[in-house]
Structure 1
Amino acid sequence: MNYHIIINNVKTVDELPGSWSNQDLIELLDRFGFPDASKSNPAELRELLSMAISDFEPAEAAAIMLEYRLSDKLNEGQIDQMSHDMLLDKISEEYPVIGLHHQLFNINQLLHKAYNGKFPSAKATITEFVMSSEDPNAEAITKEVVLKAFQHTLNDSNLIKRLFSDHLEGKVKFEEADSIIWDLSDKGDNQYQLITSEYWMARDEFVEAELDAEVILFEEDENED
């Protein structure tokens, strides 16, 4: 299947809009010893949380954040270990479970700002693009389809191309695509926005702004048990 792609904008950010709702901030303030935060001005919640967090030791604060967001994915021992590792490494890039990178990024960046850089900063990439196909049988635009198309405009140093070459060529099932792209939004009229880590896709890795790309999907072998 062939798709036509126009890259309209690629930007690097250190925080994702909407990553923390007011209710998230209120619940976190309670965990950091600031009761009745629901009575506070919503516009001040983020600043109040930063002040509340800074009263705790960094690793302790990280553990509270991890417990809040990822207690269903991590056990107590993992949270304790990660809360210390976050002070040394970009855990949202290096943790082996790719599916946790998105939330680890959000946690890390909130802590990074609350502690004025004590936690290593990570970056995210937001790409706005147009993608369409004249093929009536073309697959819908999914995270997998986008990554397989984008390989044709990303340079050879791109980590996705180096780690998942067989997946991109349709030789292996590409289950990791759903975790590599954190969000894929359909804006209408063939316009899309994707959000991922700069670790996976950096602004300076894009080679062409407009291209035609072939996408090969993985097909299960019906003869296999």
Structure 2
Amino acid sequence: MTDTHTFAITPVSSESIGELPGDWTTDDYRKLLELTDYGDASELSDKEVQEMAFMSIADLEKPEAADLLMKYVFPEDALTPGQRQNSSHEMDTERLWEEYPEPVHHRNFFRVGTLLYAAYNGGHPKPDGREVVFTVTAKDEEGAKRLQNPKAALLLRLMAPAMDGHALLHRLYEDELKSGEFAAAKNLLYQIKSEPQGERSFRITVYSTDYWLEDFVPAGPYEVTL
């Protein structure tokens, strides 16, 4: 059994998205209506529930709205009251899904940011989500097993060769991209989907932001050995 595996990557698409699939559901909007004391929403259609949730959020002062959404989205005790208070004021102008000093929180700040932007019809930093799709074919069975439920570190190492050497990913994680532990990888890719496409071949969809994925611009198919 070899320690290295070769993968053939073929780019499919790279598209800008305003929010991640499933981030905000009708159930979420109903819960937000409860939190903003909207009243009885049982007779509202799904579309009306969303519209009323946006209106109820936008009726709040911006820091109050940001604080309410952070309490809803973040796990309890993930942020101290002081961190949440500071962030609730900063979200009006700052892209905390890029700038917050602890990357583990970037994903949830992005989720909060997408709803603030929608509820206030702008007026907050515009979310810059990105969906990247590519196919990967492993040259051996062991490599194919790693693609069935791929870890973020593997996918970033597969994508990195198609990014310019000055890309942020290379500048911040040059050593981790080569080998060894890459604990931060799970904070950089927000969602991962792997779908079998035939023998040892998978269609991979990853979601994150332009901050990490905009530089993924392959000129065409390429191979990576890891």
TM beyond 0.5? yes
> 1:1-225 to 2 correspondence within 5 Å?
1-72=5-76, 73-138=78-143, 140-141=146-147, 142=150, 143-170=152-179, 172-189=180-197, 190-202=202-214, 205-215=216-226
Q: What corresponds to 1:221 in structure 2?
A: none
| C-alpha displacement of 1:9 | 0.5
Partners of 2:224 and 2:167 in 1: CA distance: 17
| C-alpha displacement of 1:56 | 0.8
Structure richer in helix, relative to its length: 2
| C-alpha displacement of 1:23 | 1.3
What TM-score does the superposition give when structure 2 sets the normalisation length? 0.89
Moved over 4 A (4+): none
Partners of 1:208 and 1:11 in 2: CA distance: 16
> Does the residue aligned with 2:9 lie in a helix, a strand or coil?
strand
Partners of 2:18 and 2:29 in 1: CA distance: 19
Alignment length (residue pairs): 213
Any stretches of 5+ residues in structure 2 without a counterpart?
none
CA displacement 1:27-76 (0-9 Å, x = unmatched):
11111121222432112221111111111100101000001111421122
Contact 2:129 2:210 in 1 (8 A): yes
Aligned-residue CA RMSD (Å): 1.5
Q: Which amino acid in 2 is paired with 1:183?
A: Q
